[in-house]
Structure 1
């Protein structure tokens, strides 16, 4: 009885004492690649909640009641921004009013590339605009009237995370926001962020080595998500089947890409796990092109701290495997 009474008194004292237990903030993250960075920095402190789970794509996602509940409870919400997770705009206004909303496309030190408005990229524009491996410039392309919903309000491509140096810039902003929201765990966030930065530098060097043998071989992608990867590592995206997955390509676009594949000869056409694979077969039909799968939004991967690294290595490995044949 004495032990029980002492335990109750001790518990009551802890509850009464301010700061006796430092509450970890409720953190919500929009998409898997960003969630992975946040989870890495929160390791050992807490686990952020993810909105776009499983194989879903932010381009076609519909909010669930559980997502709305998570936003209502959130203290911190991380998303890329208006050009990527359009489905979150109204819910953030309506449900995330008490939370600090961090728009990572506004993080300092990001390299930003202009959105390309076409599926078949012009070689002369690529030569003019590409500074392979140095994150500068952007190739121009034909516009054919297709909806360009996959960019921000300033016309920038928002697949920012596909350059590890941009991942570092976003990680720095994530660390800053977590420290401001939860000073009690600042040391843990800072330590985790420092380790993440080292891992991202090592990943960058590894990917450069992996891709070096195939970087000049052209290939076709499902949608134009790879500009940042392309500019960082010098790989040669020759065109995309669609500009944005919200808008499927028309017959003329498919014919254009089919002609491009035939002109390139033996190349690779890459599908994505979340979208219609039949289109890849259509554009490569009758050619010597091989097919593969790239997963720039990690739809086929399990969320967590390791996901970002698995995703980036997966893209590099798929490219090398198909283009080396």
Structure 2
């Protein structure tokens, strides 16, 4: 009996798994269960949350990167997600550098890739020369997030016109919530006594421009890349020249460099989240943005 069950299990495995070779890599993917829902992959947490709010139970949603997308690597399981997707939602502007490799490796010719940066007024990147281009951190302005939500709405309607009214209603409600968040941030920041700040990496320029703040320096020119002693010396000089009393770390990276600078200059450390990661079980874009606002109010009022 047990031998028969084991043999049946082997047959099932061979029936449900498809092995194929792409660029020398052997990938094993299992066919997606046909739920009748659109299969959507969002590259990182904010886009996942936007799609979750607009699509709700009409879509089958998965998150691609749980790390900061600028430095994320990928595994065969990520290729499987792309292979089975109807829609892939990306930020664009080079934020997800491994995504093109994933799309090529998946061999999914029918997937729709949605670039949510289309229509956003862009700023030039402040990162080093090898990462030049438009600044990709558009989602940290709720005003830009509205554009991204609209792009997701349009893609879902195009893929599933039978539920167009459902997606439209959800998007309209959420965009109004984003407008309320935008107004709340603007109102609170208008009362700040300080305008200059030092971020951990150059993620907050859209936010700063929208609300009249000034990101005068960043601790790391590119996330995950150790800054040179000369660069840190320039940051310290800027902090002294501007009289900044606080400095921001990020939850995705070690605060070691921030702690050293803060200790040497007598600065207070706060944590400001670029919302490049999040826990889908407990976090939302709105809650994380409100938490950032609370941090800024404590640090800069």
TM-score class, shorter-chain normalisation, is 0.7 to 0.9
2:57 is matched with 44
Structure 2 CA distance for aligned equivalents of residues 314 and 116 of structure 1: 25
Report what 2:177 is aligned to: 199
Q: Secondary structure at the match of 1:214?
A: coil
Q: Following TM superposition, where does structure 1 have runs of at least 4 consecutive aligned residues deviating by more than 3 angstroms?
A: none
| In structure 2, C-alpha distance between the alignment counterparts of 1:221 and 1:156, rounded to whole Å | 18
Aligned twin of 1:99: 111
- Give the 5 Å matches for 1:134-173: 146-149=128-131, 155-173=133-151
CA contact (8 A) 1:77 1:102 kept: yes
Q: CA offset at residue 82 of structure 1? A: 4.8
What are the within-5 Å matches in structure 2 for residues 233-248 of structure 1? 233-248=211-226
2:116, 2:59 → 1: CA distance? Answer: 20
Unaligned 5+ runs, structure 1: 1-20, 118-145
Residue 230 of structure 1: aligned partner: 208
Aligned to 2:91: 80
Task: Please name the residue that 1:113 is paired with.
Answer: 123
Q: Contact between 1:31 and 1:50, CA under 8 Å: does it hold in 2?
A: yes
Secondary structure, aligned partner of 1:44: helix
Partner of 1:14: none
Match of 1:278 in 2: 256
Q: Judging changes above 3 Å, is the alpha-carbon distance between structure 1 residues 81 and 113 closer, same or farther for their aligned structure 2 residues?
A: same
Q: 2:46 aligns with which of 30, 33, 36?
A: 33
- The Cα shift of 1:284 comes to 2.5
- Any stretches of 5+ residues in structure 2 without a counterpart? 1-33
Normalised by the size of structure 2, how large is the TM-score?
0.83
Is the Cα contact below 8 Å between 1:148 and 1:244 reproduced in 2? no
Q: How many residues align?
A: 267
Q: Equivalents in 2 of 1:165, 1:218: separation in Å?
A: 21
Are residues 265 and 288 of structure 1, via their aligned partners in 2, closer, same or farther at CA, if it must alter by over 3 Å? farther
Aligned partner (choices 263, 269, 272) of residue 247 of structure 2: 269
Residues 273 and 70 of structure 1: CA distance in aligned 2, closer, same or farther (over 3 Å):
same
- What are the Cα deviations for residues 43-98 of structure 1, in whole angstroms up to 9, with x where unaligned? 23234110112xx2112211122211111000000011251010212111221432
Contact 2:198 2:216 in 1 (8 A): yes
1:68 counterpart = 2:45: no
Structure with greater strand percent: 2
Tell me the SS of whatever aligns to 1:219: strand
Give distance in 1, aligned partners of 2:129 and 2:281. Answer: 32
Asked which structure has the greater RCO (Cα within 8 Å, sep 6+), the reply is 1
After superposition, the CA RMSD in angstroms is 2.1
CA distance in 2, matches of 1:169, 1:36: 14
| Residue 274 (structure 2) pairs with residue 296 (structure 1) | yes
Please, what TM-score do these two structures have when normalized by structure 1?
Answer: 0.77
Paired position in structure 2 for 1:4: none
Kindly provide the CA deviation profile for residues 88-134 of structure 1, in whole angstroms up to 9, marking residues without a partner as x: 121112214321111122x23x12111124xxxxxxxxxxxxxxxxx
2:288 maps to 311
